[in-house]
Amino acid sequence: MAGVSFKDVRKTYDNKIEVIHGVDMTIADGEFIVIVGPSGCGKSTLLRMVAGLERITGGEISIGERVVNELEPKDRDIAMVFQNYALYPHMTVYENMAYGLKIAKVPKAEIDQRVRDAAKTLELGQLLERRPRQLSGGQRQRVAMGRAIVRKPAVFLFDEPLSNLDAKLRVQMRLEIKRLQRELGVTSIYVTHDQVEAMTLADRLIVMNAGIADQIGTPMDVYDRPASVFVAGFIGSPAMNFLAGRVAEGGRAIELAGQGGARATLALARATTAAAGAAVAVGLRPEHLAPADGGPLELTVELAEPLGADSLLHGRFGESRETVTVRLPGHVRANPGETRRFTVDPGHVHLFDSQTGKRLADA
């Protein structure tokens, strides 16, 4: 077992296109880290640099006490689970799981014990003589995980391993991966673009944005106190709503002014350090908007989506182009064209600098 550390890790292509802009982080031994972000943000590149599949342009990556910048992948004591399973089609499940150990010249008896132990853990015992074409997608992914487990590596690396599975199977495999990681206690780095996957699996998240680690923290830290407009909009489903506002005199309230003369004043739990009159982006999560007669925020309903346990209400503040989404209990009904008023707990009003997009500090 071992931790992993990044020290000002950078990646540049053709000496001019920088895709990773100095990542610093220490991952504790046994920690489950999820790197999350949209396509092209650099999350898979960062993972591949840990694996040794991409060379580091600058900085330092350590696994345990060893700096691994110049080490070949086989010498890094890592095991990787890929998106496309990467199983040998002509080999049985047993042979696929045993192959890496065989190449490493592990004694035959030990190979057999490790494979059968992993197969028991992953409920693959009855499938050891089958070939990949005879397995379902979930079974193939469990074989790919079994091949990693038998290696007994210091670090597991997962590169979007569930993206090829259907929604129901993804939920099942998420639970399986989390259970296994806790049982084995192996440091794990997991890449995904799915923020639900990230929130449910991670001990801590690295939220990547255009090659920059925009925020590193526990899932609830990131959710409750997003560091930027990007993080706030990416983490959470439905996404956070954003409205333009200005800081009121004294810094204890925000004044919203929508198109068409719509106005609203939202109280803050604590005074903001931004100057009175400063333009801010106001973030409101859909579940934090509560119906209230006489509430400060009036929305004109455009669409209601009944989802069973919940209903999503989509409306507009004044004549603004931006739609505001509200999460309500499933029994709530609303018709297009109706106006509804909402209030927001002052502790759930998020403020961001309108120019930089960074979170504003409280006084």
Domains of the chain: residue spans and CATH: 4-228 (3.40.50.300), 241-353 (2.40.50.140)
- 327 pLDDT band, cuts 50/70/90, is very high
- 231 pLDDT band, cuts 50/70/90, is very high
Q: Give pLDDT, residue 116.
A: 93
Q: Which residue has the higher pLDDT, 9 or 172?
A: 9
Q: Look at residue 174 and give its three-state secondary structure.
A: helix
Residue 36 pLDDT greater than 50, yes or no: yes
Phi, psi (degrees; rounded to nearest 5) at 100: -60, -40
Which positions ≥6 away from 221 have C-beta within 8 Å? none
Q: In which element (H, E) is residue 306 found?
A: strand 297-306
What share of the chain has pLDDT > 70, as a percent? 99
**Mean pLDDT, residues 8-18:** 89
Residue in the structure block whose two tokens are 């991670």: 202
- Give ∠ CA 99-103-105 in degrees, rounded to 5: 115
Q: Give pLDDT, residue 331.
A: 86
CA distance 354 to 261: 21
Please count the CA atoms within 13 angstroms of the CA of 200 that sit on its side-chain side. 16
CB 1 within 8 Å of CB 188: no
- 265 pLDDT band, cuts 50/70/90, is very high
Which positions ≥6 away from 115 have C-beta within 8 Å? 94, 97, 98, 101, 128, 146, 150
Query: Omega into 161 within 30° of 0, i.e. cis?
Result: no
Q: Which of 95-109, 165-179, 213-227, 294-308 has the lowest mean pLDDT?
A: 165-179
Tell whether the torsion through CA atoms of 165, 170, 176 and 181 is positive or negative.
positive
Tokens encoding 145:
């995980």
Q: Give pLDDT, residue 249.
A: 87
Task: State how beta strands 32-36 and 204-209 pair.
Answer: parallel
Q: Give pLDDT, residue 210.
A: 93
Residue 163 pLDDT greater than 90, yes or no: no
Residue 133 pLDDT greater than 80, yes or no: yes
Exposed e or buried b per residue across 49-78, where buried means at least 16 C-beta atoms within 10 angstroms of its C-beta: bbbbebebeebebbbbeeebeeeeeeebbb
What share of the chain has pLDDT > 90, as a percent? 67
Q: Which of 26-35, 78-87, 281-290, 305-314 has the lowest mean pLDDT?
A: 78-87
How does DSSP classify residue 308? Answer: S
Residue 258 pLDDT greater than 80, yes or no: no
Q: Each residue of 72-93: pLDDT tens digit?
A: 998 999 999 888 878 999 999 9
Helix segments in 104-193, DSSP class H: 108-121, 137-149, 167-184
Q: Give pLDDT, residue 171.
A: 87
CA distance 49 to 157: 11
Q: Give pLDDT, residue 14.
A: 83
Q: Give pLDDT, residue 363.
A: 45
- 282 pLDDT band, cuts 50/70/90, is very high
Q: In which element (H, E) is residue 50 found?
A: helix 43-51
CB 360 within 8 Å of CB 353: yes
Q: Which of 30-39, 106-115, 174-183, 276-285 has the lowest mean pLDDT?
A: 174-183
Q: Which of 88-97, 141-150, 235-244, 260-269 has the lowest mean pLDDT?
A: 260-269
